[in-house]
Each structure stands twice: as structure tokens, then as C-alpha cells.
Structure 1
């Protein structure tokens, strides 16, 4: 492929020129063009009016130069530099042209471009585009990222908090995301914040010294806030924990209550994750201000002071990972019907609306 008006010598035999609407000429080989385009394959069987002059055949097209260059680079059978897209509109202009000229663009290439644009233009714009063009993969990825944005789907929220890109989407698309976010919050609450047993007490962390025996969690020697001794602020009425001292033979009915400063940390986490208008993501529980406040309280405890910082940071990081996994487990229900070809092979084919 070569652009004759830009002074680039063609690397292949140039016997046809495609001229864009804004006057830029692209020199190509008829053999290659016929190979990638069903429309041009049929057109090239017609007589060439320039055959007697020896000049390349010229075809005037309605697309601009930027669209044509990107299209030709995407479909070229030989290794060429792939185009860079900055906006979804640029991609759909190219896909429009590809459909018009019966040019196939590989699904994996389109997928890669869509994901790049998701990162560039943000999840709100990507979600709107995905719902408009019925792109399942993009809709799911965008929705997963949108839950990290401040809450805008609450009926009591200020309408101005709705991202501009989402103000014109269909009611079904908006409600689908709102329902998905509620499901994410509920799943995080059930699986992480309000789990029947605090799964981080045993296993999966640096301080894996606790053990299970007869449905009892023995935690003494694990997290510092379960040291088994009373510390200022500890309140047995504040929490119920199925955990006991390792010294079960001498005092089998003694329950170990967590220190109050850790209980306050968990309460703050719940407030931020479930009661506020912030984003829903694991890094909320590792926020500096949140940790600093709780660590300061922990270091005020005579028993916990030496390990409060280290233990709470490890605990918070482990909780953050569990929150992300919990959100990943929630399935997003698409607000549109999946095209039959997508159900069959998981790909997506662009069609003009």
C-alpha cells in the first residue's frame, strides 16, 4: 500500500489508485485488493478505461483519507504498521467502510482495538457504545469498570452525577447497569464483609498460624487483634466471632474477642463500601486515610502496638483481593439480545444501524 501524493514509493506493484474524498491517493496492487475486498474483486473484472494509457486505474471513494488508511492497514495481508485509534467514532467509520466494500477484519484485531479504546475513552463512553452497537464483550468489560466509579444510579443521587456519555442511553441499558451494581454490592457484603465466618482468620495470609478443630477457629498467635487478652476498648457486645484461645483444654469455653480498634476498622470499611456514594473496588479498604486512622488506634493499644501496622496492612491487602474476586463473580445481564453469530462463536460482527 502506498499514498502517491505523500511521496511514499510503493513497496508492491501499483496498478490501482484509491482516491479519498479529501484528495489523498493510495496506490495498491489489484491482486491484493481483490484478495481482501469482495466489492473490488467484482469491480476489477470490468474493463479498465485506462488500460491503453498505461496509467494505474483510479477509483474515487467517499471516505476520507484517515478512514481509508486505517482500513487498508487493517486488512492488508502483508505485515504493515497497524493503525492507532483515538476514538470509537474512528473505528466505526472504518468498520462502516469495511462492510461497504465487503472487507473482513479479523475479530481478534477488532477486539484488541475495542479494549484499547475502552482504556482511552473510559468505561462510561465504552458502555454507551457497547449497548448501542450490541457488543457483549465490551459491555461486560465496561460495566465491570463502571462499578469503580462514584455511585450515580441511586434514585436519590443528583442527576448531574450521571456521566454525560450515559445520559442518552436506553432505559434498559441504564437499569441493567444499576441492577448489576446492586448485585456487586450484595455479593461483596455477603462473601466478604458479612461472611458467616471471617475467612481471613484462617489461611491465605502471611500470619497463617491459626487452625480449625471441631468447627472452632483457634486464632491465638495469628492476627494481633486476636491475641486472646483484653485490651482497652474491647467489647464482647460489639461482635460475635466463632474463635477461641489455643488453650482449649484449660478454658474450652473462652471466646476470643477482637480488639475494638479492629472492629472500628471493619465498621469504617462497611460504611465506605455499602453506605456511601464512592466507587466499589478493593482499593477502598487499603486507602491511606482509612488505614492511618485505624493504625493510630491500634498503636494506642499496649498489646497490639508493635504489630498493628504490619498486620492490618496485610489484612487489608488480602481483603482487597477478595473484594475484587467477589465482584468478578457477579454476572452482568446484557440489556440487548446477543446476535446469533456471537452466541455461536463468541465473536462480534459490526453492522450499520
Structure 2
């Protein structure tokens, strides 16, 4: 049997490639097993393939112990992945799955779509988790990935549901009681944060005035400085948009502004800055831990 690629002009043929393909692919093996007609007694039959020469070369190089081809872009990777799936070459699919995962940070939405189409659950979950760092408009990119045309609506619905559940986990599981958050260095519960200990600031700065953070609770217990109330409000807004630990970390631009705000107070500034840095770091870890418990749901047929 001779294989003919789709891209050559005039078309090129390869007999050796067909032998290699038959060993790696059950599809090619079955084709080779078919009896030849009388017209092919002298010349072997020619099989015309839809894939171009570059795609097939990439695919076949994955089947043998030679230097692996470079998948420098998803535009190169996807046709090879499609061919590996079409011709049932499992070890090529496994290699391409690893290559696909390397593009998660670069193109998370497109990787999610590709992984969903080919039932790569772990890669789809990686992409979904990475998309939490993007804003809520991630689902409406300026340039729509071509794979989105083949993606069922339920796939995007599951992704949005996963994101919503992550937001709820980040908010509910980490900021249930803002006045006494039991987080500290290395997970040690701590209740002596400066915003709980200092009842008033003698400097009389606006950012240090006491506010009732949760009206209706026990009087006095939930009074905190304005700067901490501002921080908690900022944390809530950030997590509602991006439910990841980096949204509450002290090096986040908006969080850093809160730190600078309190640093101007000569009474509590130094201690407050240190406490807020420690608190935000521990809170970021707690947010990531809470979100990690949320799992992206897949349809039952993924397990078939």
C-alpha cells in the first residue's frame, strides 16, 4: 500500500510510511489487511489521505524512537492531534496530550476547548483553573478559538458553573468572619491582629477611625479600622472577579494601595503593615486551598 498526502503538488507517495503506520494504528492495520484487486497485482494500491505531509510526518515521528518534532504552536499541534485520534494511535495521543498541556498558560480557553473535545479531563481542569486568573469576560475573546465552533454549549456552561462555584468557595470559605479571621503564618490560628487590638488611634487619621464591619452583631466586637474594612471590601470585589489567591495577596496593586494607606499612621502603621502582609499571604493560601476543592464536572460519556 502507498499513502498519498494532500499537500504535495504533484502528490508524493510513501510506501515505508504505510508500513510504520500499520504497526502503530489499528486503522491502517485493518486497511493493509484488505485484499488487493487484480488491478493492483503489479502496482500497490494508493491510499489518499486528508492530512498534509507535515502533519503526517509529525504524527509518524511520535510512533518511533527518534527525535520528537517540535510543536511550537497549537496551529501545528491540533492537526496532528486530530490525525492521531482519527487513526487510533494511542501512544501518539498520550504524547500530544502532554504537548497540549504546555500551552495552558498561553491559551487557556483554546486548550480547554481542545481538551474537552478529546476528553483530556486533567488538561481541561488545568485550563479551567488557569482561566480563574482571567476576568469574567474570558468567555468572549476578541478572536474566538476555532475549536469553540465544535464545542457543545454544555462545555461552556460547565466551565461557567465551575467558575461560579470557585467564587463562592473563595468568598464563603475564607471570609466568613472578617473581624476574627483565624489565619496566620503556617496555618497557625491568630486573633491578635492589630486591627483587633487597637481600639482607637490617637493620631485621629481618617483611615484609622473605627467602623462597624458587620452591623447587627455584638456591639464593639466587630469594630475595625477603616483601612481594614476597605481591605476586606477590596478582597471581596477581587475574588468575585478572579477567585485566586493572588487577588488578595499584598503584592496585588490594589491591595498594596491599602498597605500604603495605613503606613502613614505613626501609631499603628508599622505593625499594621506587617500584620496585613502576613494576613494577606495566609489568606491567599487559604483561598487557593478552598478553590482547589472545587472540581470541574464532566459528562458521563467521558468515562467510556
Hey, what's the Cα distance between the residues in 2 that align with 1:86 and 1:310? 45
Hey, what's the Cα distance between the residues in 1 that align with 2:25 and 2:113? 31
2:301 to 323, 338, 342: 338
Q: How do 1:287-298 residues align onto structure 2 when only pairs under 5 Å count?
A: 287-298=251-262
Name the structure where helix makes up a greater proportion of residues. Answer: 2
Does residue 111 of structure 1 match 2:74?
no
Q: Name the counterpart of 2:181.
A: 198
Hey, what's the Cα distance between the residues in 2 that align with 1:49 and 1:305? 91
What's the CA shift string for 1:40-75, capped at 9, x where partnerless?
586389799689xxxxx8966423111111111111
1:176 to 148, 153, 158: 158
Q: Name the counterpart of 2:213.
A: 238
Q: Which is further off, 181-190 or 321-330?
A: 321-330
Does residue 138 of structure 1 match 2:123?
yes
Distance 1:107 1:199, change over 3 A: farther
SS at match of 1:105: helix
What's the CA shift string for 1:241-266, capped at 9, x where partnerless?
x9xxxxxxxxxxx9695433222211
Q: Name the counterpart of 1:263.
A: 229
1:164 to 131, 144, 148: 144
Hey, what's the Cα distance between the residues in 1 that align with 2:235 and 2:34? 70
2:32 to 25, 43, 56: 43
**Count of matched residue positions in the alignment of Structure 1 and Structure 2:** 285
SS at match of 1:118: coil
Q: Name the counterpart of 1:301.
A: 265
TM-score, reference length from structure 2: 0.73
- Name which one, 1 or 2, has greater alpha-carbon Rg: 1
Hey, what's the Cα distance between the residues in 1 that align with 2:148 and 2:113? 9
SS at match of 2:67: coil
Hey, what's the Cα distance between the residues in 2 that align with 1:144 and 1:284? 14
Q: How do 1:319-330 residues align onto structure 2 when only pairs under 5 Å count?
A: 319-330=283-294
Q: Conserved in 1, the CA contact under 8 Å of 2:262 and 2:269?
A: yes
Hey, what's the Cα distance between the residues in 1 that align with 2:266 and 2:61? 68
Distance 1:137 1:18, change over 3 A: same
Q: Conserved in 2, the CA contact under 8 Å of 1:123 and 1:145?
A: yes
Q: Name the counterpart of 1:125.
A: 110
Hey, what's the Cα distance between the residues in 2 that align with 1:45 and 1:167? 37
Question: Structure 1: 5+ residue runs without aligned partners?
Answer: 1-15, 52-56, 154-158, 211-216, 243-253, 342-353
SS at match of 1:204: helix
Question: Structure 2: 5+ residue runs without aligned partners?
Answer: none
How many Å apart are 1:34 and its aligned residue?
A: 4.7
Distance 1:50 1:320, change over 3 A: farther
How many Å apart are 1:31 and its aligned residue?
A: 7.0
Q: Which is further off, 282-291 or 87-96?
A: 87-96
Hey, what's the Cα distance between the residues in 1 that align with 2:16 and 2:256? 64
Q: Conserved in 1, the CA contact under 8 Å of 2:108 and 2:131?
A: yes
Distance 1:26 1:303, change over 3 A: farther
Does residue 317 of structure 1 match 2:281?
yes
